[in-house]
């Protein structure tokens, strides 16, 4: 049954996008009503879905109900259903299937300056691409051979071709080009190393550590290798790290360790339920402690990582010297939609409807991708806080012109979605039971989570020591992060 309240909340989130094209909004609503999964990308407005597969995927399980995925593990195989066309292929050593509605045939023809084929011609083109002859295409749909022959003549005339093999060749070439962004974007390769090379200063180390169980753990760290370790559980938007941050760590003999949660700074993160993501993230923190700390270590939980810090401290009190919750996210159980920021609507969806949450996050990612839309959108979110606006100005005035924060947001969709779950599903009363010293730090100019909400959170957590930092908003970054770190090291 349609969840109309959740649908309305999803629309409120999407409508925070500046200058949102009405066609995109109607397409989003249509996908909700058809209960389609969230597309990975689109081509000329035609949605494209991508599914990563492996040898353990049952051959009779279809990740997209309308398409036959039986041969899905075979490379370079065309699949066609009544309304969809797909390509099975391999990229980065991983098997995948990329699926689009057969409307993509007409979209590629229009893009080439040709007339749009009729629905019957589109269906015939899809069957020809699947390797069927004209007679087989007639038999499959129960139409006369002469009908199919006439449809082919009309289609080939539109394409200014005559031979069937030329029609198939050109259509296949154009469709593969249309699907290529969805295929290419799944190439994880050395994305994290590339991010570090482009945006992080020399001296930030990138480690990818294997575990006995589970996927490898990705860690960024800086400072003296034998320095006093501090584990920082990063915020939703991975922060900028500068040469000044490195100098501070050296001066204070601190080794600053960022275990990256699954889905952050990843081109192709697998879909996970909330508990699986939490378990994998916790295992990552445990591996970071084992490999890089070995002594009781302070944890700094930034923004929505409070649930993860609490889980680690509760499970390993002997490994945790203190927990500092900084700029903590807390919805306080009140849904307050905003025309400028989608956060409240997304958090409410995390409580109500996970499927719509996933689809809404994917839609927001696509709409925010152009830089000319991303910058005003994120600045509008933080417009009420002068310190946060100063941080964003530094990001967009940098030589990369904001490319770092754009990549940190757009390539962390899976992690962001789970962070919203943490924000609304975590019981802060668990903090009372911790055996580890705890404190809260919050900026006095944080407009994302204002003081009233934080007072409620603080009470739920048992009213531990708290510090309200003057002149700081929601973003503890640059010298403000060093000040926070210095305070943690002196505790």
Q: Which helix (H) or strand (E) holds 130?
A: none
Q: Is residue 20 part of a domain?
A: no
pLDDT of residue 353: 67
The CATH number assigned to the domain holding 247 equals 3.40.50.1820
Q: Which helix (H) or strand (E) holds 411?
A: none
Residues 6+ positions from 337 with CB-CB distance below 8 Å: 9, 12, 344, 345
Residue of 186, 205, 189 lying closest to 197 (CA atoms): 205
Q: Which helix (H) or strand (E) holds 167?
A: helix 164-184
Based on the domain organization, do 454 and 374 belong to the same domain? yes
Based on the domain organization, do 224 and 147 belong to the same domain? no
Q: Is residue 210 part of a domain?
A: yes
The CATH number assigned to the domain holding 151 equals 1.10.10.10
Helix, strand, or coil (residue 192): helix
pLDDT of residue 189: 44
49: which 2 tokens? 């879905």
CA atoms within 13 A on the CB side of 220: 25
Q: Is residue 5 part of a domain?
A: no
Based on the domain organization, do 336 and 197 belong to the same domain? yes
Partnered with residue 94 across adjacent β-strands are 91
In order along its 491 residues, the chain shows pLDDT tens digits of 456 677 777 767 666 666 666 666 666 666 666 656 666 777 887 888 777 665 444 444 444 444 455 544 445 667 777 678 888 776 555 667 788 888 999 999 999 899 999 999 999 998 898 888 999 999 999 999 999 999 999 999 999 998 998 999 888 888 888 887 776 654 444 678 888 999 999 999 998 887 777 778 899 999 998 899 999 999 988 999 999 999 999 999 999 999 999 888 887 666 667 788 888 999 999 999 998 998 999 999 998 899 999 999 999 999 999 999 998 876 544 556 555 566 666 666 665 666 776 777 677 676 767 777 888 888 888 888 999 999 999 999 999 999 999 888 888 877 877 887 777 778 888 999 999 999 999 999 998 887 777 888 888 888 899 988 999 999 999 999 999 999 999 97
Q: Is residue 32 part of a domain?
A: no
Based on the domain organization, do 131 and 218 belong to the same domain? no
Based on the domain organization, do 180 and 212 belong to the same domain? no
Domain boundary among 128, 150, 184: 184
pLDDT of residue 57: 43
pLDDT of residue 188: 47
Q: Is residue 117 part of a domain?
A: yes
Q: Is 404 left (phi over 0), alpha (psi -120 to 50) or beta?
A: alpha
Residue 134 structural domain = 41-184
Q: Is residue 8 part of a domain?
A: no
Instruction: Sheet containing 466-469: give its strands across.
Output: 205-209, 217-222, 254-259, 228-233, 297-302, 320-326, 438-443, 466-469
Asked whether the beta carbons of 474 and 447 are under 8 A apart, the reply is yes
Domain boundary among 158, 184, 210: 184
Domain boundary among 125, 157, 184: 184
Based on the domain organization, do 439 and 413 belong to the same domain? yes
Question: DSSP of 4-69, one letter per residue?
Answer: HHHHHHHHHHHTTSTT--HHHHHHHHHHHHTTPPPPSEEETTEEEEEEEE-TTS-TT--SSTTS--
Number of domains in the chain: 2
d(CA 475, CA 466): 17
Based on the domain organization, do 246 and 152 belong to the same domain? no
Asked whether the beta carbons of 232 and 256 are under 8 A apart, the reply is yes
pLDDT of residue 18: 66
pLDDT of residue 32: 64
Based on the domain organization, do 121 and 258 belong to the same domain? no
Residue of 25, 33, 29, 27 lying closest to 1 (CA atoms): 33
Q: What is the sign of the dihedral through the CA atoms of 198, 200, 201 and 207?
A: negative
Helix, strand, or coil (residue 199): helix
pLDDT of residue 96: 74
Taking the mean position of all CA atoms in its chain, how far away is CA 55? 25
Based on the domain organization, do 278 and 355 belong to the same domain? yes
Asked whether the beta carbons of 44 and 110 are under 8 A apart, the reply is yes
Q: Is residue 30 part of a domain?
A: no
Q: Is residue 2 part of a domain?
A: no
d(CA 369, CA 357): 18
pLDDT of residue 1: 44
Based on the domain organization, do 207 and 174 belong to the same domain? no
Q: How many CB atoms are closer than 10 A to CB 368? A: 20
Based on the domain organization, do 222 and 96 belong to the same domain? no
Tokens 């809404």 correspond to 360
């Amino acid at each position: 049954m349609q969840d109309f309240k959740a649908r309305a909340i999803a629309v409120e989130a999407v409508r925070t996008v500046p200058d949102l094209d009405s066609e995109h909004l109607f397409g989003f609503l249509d996908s909700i009503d058809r209960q389609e999964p969230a597309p990975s990308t689109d081509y000329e407005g035609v949605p494209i879905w991508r599914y990563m597969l492996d040898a353990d995927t049952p051959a009779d399980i279809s990740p997209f109900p309308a398409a036959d995925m039986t041969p899905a593990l075979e490379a370079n195989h065309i699949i066609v259903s009544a309304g969809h066309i797909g390509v099975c292929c391999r990229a980065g050593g991983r098997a995948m299937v990329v699926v689009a509605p057969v409307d993509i045939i007409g979209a590629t023809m229009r893009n080439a300056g040709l007339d749009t084929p009729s629905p019957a011609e589109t269906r015939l083109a899809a069957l020809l691409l699947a390797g069927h002859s004209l007679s087989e295409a007639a038999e499959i749909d129960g139409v006369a051979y002469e009908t199919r022959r006439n449809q082919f003549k009309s289609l080939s005339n539109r394409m200014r071709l005559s031979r069937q093999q030329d029609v198939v060749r050109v259509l296949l070439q154009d469709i593969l080009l249309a699907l290529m962004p969805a295929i290419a974007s799944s190439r994880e390769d050395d994305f994290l190393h590339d991010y570090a090379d482009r945006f992080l200063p020399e001296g930030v180390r990138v480690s990818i550590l294997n575990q006995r169980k589970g996927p490898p753990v990705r860690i960024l760290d800086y400072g003296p290798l034998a320095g006093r370790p501090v584990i920082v559980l990063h915020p939703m938007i991975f922060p900028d790290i500068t040469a000044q941050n490195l100098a501070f760590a050296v001066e204070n003999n601190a080794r600053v360790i960022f275990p990256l949660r699954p889905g952050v700074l990843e081109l192709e993160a697998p879909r996970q339920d909330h508990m699986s993501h939490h378990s994998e993230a916790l295992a990552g923190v445990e591996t970071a402690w084992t490999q890089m700390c070995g002594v009781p270590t302070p944890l700094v939980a930034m923004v929505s990582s409070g649930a993860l810090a609490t889980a680690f401290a509760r499970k390993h009190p002997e490994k945790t010297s203190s927990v500092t919750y900084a700029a903590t996210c807390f919805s306080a159980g009140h849904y307050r939609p905003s025309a400028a920021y989608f956060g409240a609507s997304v958090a409410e969806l995390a409580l109500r409807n996970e499927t719509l949450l996933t689809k809404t996050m994917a839609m927001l990612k696509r709409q925010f991708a152009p830089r000319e839309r991303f910058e005003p959108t994120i600045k509008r979110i933080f417009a009420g806080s002068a310190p946060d606006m100063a941080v964003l100005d530094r990001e967009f005035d940098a030589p990369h012109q904001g490319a770092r924060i754009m990549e940190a947001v757009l390539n962390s969709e899976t992690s962001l979605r789970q962070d919203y779950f943490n924000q609304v599903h975590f019981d802060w009363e668990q903090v009372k039971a911790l055996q580890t010293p705890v404190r809260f730090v919050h900026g006095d100019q944080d407009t994302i989570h204002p003081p009233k909400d934080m007072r409620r959170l603080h009470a739920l957590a048992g009213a531990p020591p708290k510090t309200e930092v003057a002149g700081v908003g929601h973003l503890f970054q640059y010298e403000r992060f060093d000040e926070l770190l210095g305070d943690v090291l002196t505790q």
